[in-house]
Amino acid sequence: MSLQKRLRGTGVALVTPFKNGAIDWEDLERIIEYVTTGGVEFLVSLGTTGESTTTSDAEHREILDFTIKVNRGRLPLVAGVFGGNNTALLVEKIKNFNFEGIDALLSSNPAYSKPGQEGIFQHYLALAEVSPRPIIIYNVPSRTSSNMTAETTLRLAHSNNKFIAVKEASDDIFQVMKIIKGRPDNFLVLSGDDFITLPLIASGGDGVISVIANTLPQPFTDMVRAALRYDMPRAQELNFKLLELYKLLFIEGNPVGVKAAMELQGLCGRDVRLPLAPMTENGVHLIMAELEKVANK
């Protein structure tokens, strides 16, 4: 089966659990097993949800090696530590990186610099020229302060077969549909936000890289699979069941909310690293109440 087919459905943006400031390896293993048995199609390690910006390069290597060991090749593994606004340094990082056990890399638009469309295009092209693995483009304007237009995404998709997918978190469904309409064969369009997954798939998209799948993998993957087989009544039923939780998990930032939910489930603690702070008791109570509603629906 091709990698593109294996990346169709639900990918989970794994959290990185901490205890007393250090990585909690026991909890990380528990989480990997939980989401795998919960039905996700692939793993994404060290994206934003994995707090890659507040973990060191040495920790990145340790986390990836540990995840590769626990995964045992069962699911495709995407590494998300390839964002940055210094293209030359990122090129060198990719050249010198050990990709054994990693199937693809996820790379976001350059943040802070706010490049134009040509700059974004040339940045990604430079990565593709040196990457030994396929690349998932990550468009997340709320974090990078620059939107990659549908035209730029399609230009990249048609320019180099290293680009196999886009994780679209612009929340612009018109932009999403333009990409779906103009994409080449085998180029995946994945949602970057849980709440827009159903409309994206209904428009012809392929799945999601999810936050909520850390805490409720089974009902969420069931929703995605129903949508992909165009069983919309079932997909809508499951989507509405989870709807309020999609937003509640983000009211104090990500992964603050999802870690609070996971603590309530006994999966890991809610510890995060500064500048993030653990969820307030009020936020925890809101999530607890919604989890109870989901369990009873």
Cα 156 to Cα 249: distance, rounded to the nearest angstrom: 32
Residue 189: how many other CB atoms lie within 10 Å: 22
**Where do the DSSP E strands lie in 140-182?**
163-168
Residue 75's H or E segment, with its range, is none
Question: What are the residues whose beta carbons fall under 8 Å from the beta carbon of 216, sequence distance 6 or more?
Answer: 38, 242, 245, 294
Residue 87's H or E segment, with its range, is helix 87-96
Which of these, 220, 256, 252, lies nearest to 239 by C-alpha position? 220
> Omega of the bond prior to 255 within 30 degrees of 0, cis?
yes
Which letter does DSSP use for residue 43 in this model?
E
For residue 198, count CB atoms less than 10 angstroms from its CB and return exposed for 0-12, middle for 13-18, buried for 19 or more: buried
Residues with catalytic roles: 138, 167
